[in-house]
Structures are given as structure tokens and as C-alpha cells.
Amino acid sequence: QKEVEQDPGPLSVPEGAIVSLNCTYSNSAFQYFMWYRQYSRKGPELLMYTYSSGNKEDGRFTAQVDKSSKYISLFIRDSQPSDSATYLCAMETGSYIPTFGRGTSLIVHP
């Protein structure tokens, strides 16, 4: 079993839909949780960063962490075609060396 599991997709949704992206993990030492967006042939861009359990909202994005279930989510409201990208979850123990999921490919069609 990998430390971080993430469905690669692709996930295809219509414009305006609410998107739910998820990761599960097995290492209970993970304390910091991140979501990155990666466009093709570009480096990952940090979207959300959370510490411990709870919700964090930033514009159309909401990150949710449930440490008891070892489950994190990223919600995108009012999705746009420009949101089409690969979304990577990442988590770390505080060592500054993140462990990444394999990424979920999201396609938002007009």
C-alpha cells in the first residue's frame, strides 16, 4: 500500500459543477496537508495549505482534512474550464519533505 493514494482520473465535469478531489493516506504522522495544481509542462502551484484537521476556504477552493479517517479533500465550486489541470495532494510530517499523491486529472468542459 502506498503512503498516499489518489485516484488518477480523469475526472470530467461540466462548467459550473462542484468538484471533489480526494486523497487517503496511511501515515498517521502526517500533519501538514497541501494541494497543488499542475498544468501540463509546468511546475506544481500551491493552492491550499492546511495543518491538522478541519476546513480551510480560499475563494472557490475549500480544503478539508479528517485526520481520524486519514482522508483529505479539495472542493472546487463553480468550476471553470481554466481549472482543467492535474491536482496533486501532498502531505508531510514536518520534515519539509512532502509525500505526493500521483495526481488527479480534472477536465472541466464548457
Partner 1 sequence: GAVVSQHPSWVICKSGTSVKIECRSLDFQATTMFWYRQFPKQSLMLMATSNEGSKATYEQGVEKDKFLINHASLTLSTLTVTSAHPEDSSFYICSASAQGAAFFGQGTRLTVV
Interface residue with partner 1 among 43, 59, 82, 110 (CB under 8 A) is: 43
Give the residue with the Cβ less far from partner 1, 43 or 110.
43
Q: Could you tell me which stretch among 22-30, 46-54, 60-68, 70-78 binds partner 1 (CB under 8 A)?
A: 46-54
71 interacts with partner 1 by CB under 8 A: no
Nearer to partner 1, 17 or 98 (CB): 98
Contacting partner 1 within 9-38 (CB under 8 A): 32, 34, 36
Give the whole-angstrom CA distance, residue 35 versus residue 56. 12
**Cell numbers at residue 79, please?**
468550476
Provide the minimum distance between the beta carbon of 47 and partner 1 in the complex, in angstroms, as a whole number.
10
- Residue pair 85/106 in contact (Cβ under 8 Å)? The answer is yes
* C-beta neighbour count of 11 within 10 angstroms: 15
